Amino acid sequence: VWLAQSSLGSSCFSIASFSTSEQQQQVAVSLLLQTLQMFLARTLRPVSRSLTSVRAFSSSAPSQDVLKQRFSEVVPAQVAIIKDLRAKYNDVVIGTCTVDQAYGGMRSVKSLITETSLLDPEEGIRFRGLSIPELQQQLPAADREPLPEALLWLLVTGEVPTAEQVESVKANLASRSQVDDYTLELISKFPKDMHPMTQFSSAVLSLQRQSKFAKAYQEGVHKSTYWDYAYEDSMDLIAKIPQVAANIYRHTFHNDTFIAPDTSLDWGQNFSRMLGFNDPAFEELIRLYMVIHSDHEGGNVSAHTTHLVGSALSDPYLSFSAGMNGLAGPLHGLANQEVLRWLKGFQQQVGVGVCDTESIKKALWDTLNAGRVIPGYGHAVLRKTDPRYTCQREFAQRHLPNDEMFKLVSAIYEVAPGVLTEHGKTKNPWPNVDAHSGVLLQHYGLVEDNYYTVLFGASRALGVLPSLMWDRALGLPLERPKSITTEALLKELTSKK
């Protein structure tokens, strides 16, 4: 009591001293223990870094939070690997930056660590080492497509979950999923002409009032426990996103006819039902969509922004909202709706049902000769067909082979790479994920393409928030690259001659 009183004030001492009833004494003891815990967190320091690792990841997770417990168990091994790697190779150069890269968006500059996924120019995205076909084969599924809960376990722990572990994640998210009345009321008051992504980012910021990370930081918890609160915030946010995103859709396009959540359903299925769809095939599409759009290593705008803002110890709500503002840009998350609009115009140009090679080729050349691009083709890193495009194509072949827009997309796929190669101005003439996703959503009746980026954002939470958990678990520092002026660069370059 004296330690707490001297460090944090006399309030706890006076409560303990003058509480007389048994109930008051129990409250006083509880307050006193919390106060002492705060004091110890502020004053005691571990003896060594190795002891810090062991102590920091002795998780206080309740037994039912199996994911958090497993996360706490796998982190120390990764910490040890990184510690050994840095001890041996700290001064080794892993990449360079040319003048062209400095002015050209830092493409291919190796300067970030992201544990959850890796993008290979030839193979495409790998989630914890697994390709998309491998995810479809190995992750537990409701029907055929992987469950988002299974992917979440994989990205957090690096391990393929069992069906039982996936059920524990499902129950965990369900227990966290209730959205506060203030945020729901806020969504219902947004102007109808406010872009759905602006609504989404704003609603996430509204949820920030509940941040456990921000509260713990204000209370002075030791930095070795930051991961715990980042995990809590991230899981809370992932759990609430389906209702937040669905309510934005129902508010903007369906006159505030909201649909209550059903937490007995899986994450993707519940999301689909709250959007207003009750079609098992569409539910499978949503599961697939959420999985394949979740993560794309750490250099893309939404992932990097979330990481960058989080490196300032902004809580996961603030960090994710910032990432969503990046996703809302035309060169990132808005691309799929732009592809769909282009496809509709292209269909009018060649005629509905016209998919012959010569007509498609002529229309593509007309597009390029007019100084426009063929949207949905090319990628900053990939040099082959995006596997995310391929799995959507396979889904369409199974579920909607006779859809006219799908037939057009398939015909363009057969012709466009050759046209773009002959054109000679595209490094990668193959389709990316955006070339297909809008067509699938349209087929099932989700025709409001202004909303598509919110779907993208909901899925991206499954990737960038586990990365944020790992950022705090590994103690990654504030990101602060060096910038220089053009004048300084010229001086440096000319002085070397």
Active site residues: 332, 379, 434
| Helix axes 148-157 and 66-89, enclosed angle (nearest 10) | 40
**How far is 174 from 171, CA to CA, in rounded Å?**
5
Chain centroid, CA 6 distance in Å: 44
Sign of CA dihedral 343, 344, 347, 349: negative
Q: What is the pairing mode between strands 117-120 and 124-127?
A: antiparallel
**Encoded amino acid at 332, one letter:** H
Taking the CA atoms of residue 223, residue 234, residue 300 and residue 298 in that order, the dihedral angle to the nearest 10 degrees is 50
Chain centroid, CA 71 distance in Å: 18
**How far is 400 from 59, CA to CA, in rounded Å?**
47
**How far is 167 from 10, CA to CA, in rounded Å?**
47
**Encoded amino acid at 205, one letter:** L
**What's the angle, vertex CA 206, arms to CA 200 and CA 209, rounded to 5?**
145
Query: DSSP states of 70-88 as a string?
Result: HHHHHHHHHHHHHHHHHHH
